[in-house]
A and B are shown apart, each in its own frame.
Chain A
């Protein structure tokens, strides 16, 4: 696996659990790098069940949201599944306002999300 700068990856059974290195997911260069690393997990490593654990993430801009939507589509096309967990209330509010909580399966905790796969 190439060096990962924006995420850490662990396994829990068949599920790939992704955590974010950055507390704030903000500007486009950073977001593009993040998207590249997430995309490789699907395209190159053929991961099909992914959980994004947002613990430690304090901020997500709309640029970040766009890339998460792209990841969701990519996984859907590959017949994979994406879930999210552990969002602080402020980050969750961004998903609620944009109604992306209807697009993504967002659970309170990693344990709850893993059970839902």
Chain B
């Protein structure tokens, strides 16, 4: 089922000129480092994150990224895009979420920008405080921070840059 959805996702992205496998580049170590990127404007509607996560996960799996890294990237990207759509753009159909993602052999980098007013990530309450443990929302940013190698918001708080460095294989 998921595989089929992923294939459909790829077909749609291919039509709109989404992910492209650029010719391999030679790194200093002599290994081939296939570059891959996606540049999408997502509508502010629930479920739109699939247009990024499905081809991205397919690419990572096809290039042998470890399961734990694929999970981390899926979780952080899903949470960030949902935040942008729901909290940033407030599901406004007149606004889009701009996603630019690049993956090479060792690093996934993604920038997600909404058209909202932004927020102060430092002001998000600690969801692990004893009196907030059972609050049903507010865990997205913490999960993103924990699962990514790097996470930075711009000053306005409407754009987040995240990076995940590929874990070395044992």
On A, residues with C-beta under 8 Å from B are 23-24, 26-29, 58-59, 61-63, 65-67, 69-70, 72-73, 89-90, 94, 97-100, 102-103
Residue among A26, A66, A70 with the highest chain B CB neighbour number at 10 A: A26
For chain B, what secondary structure do more than half of its interface residues adopt (helix, strand, loop), or is it mixed?
helix
If the complex has contacts A66-B136, A66-B137, are A27 and B74 also in contact, measured as CB distance less than 8 A?
A: no
Cα–Cα distance between A24 and B147 once the two chains are bound (Å):
17
Contact A61 B136 (CB under 8 A): no
Interface size on B, residues (CB 8 A): 27
CA distance A63 to B67 in the complex (A): 22
| Cβ A27 vs Cβ B47 within 8 A | yes
- Which B residues lie within 8 Å of A100 (CB)? 133
B residues contacting A by CB (< 8 A) are 2, 46-47, 49-50, 67-68, 71-72, 74-75, 78-79, 82, 127-128, 133-137, 139-140, 142-143, 146-147
Question: Which of A23, A59, A73, A103 has the most C-beta atoms of chain B within 10 angstroms of its own C-beta?
Answer: A59
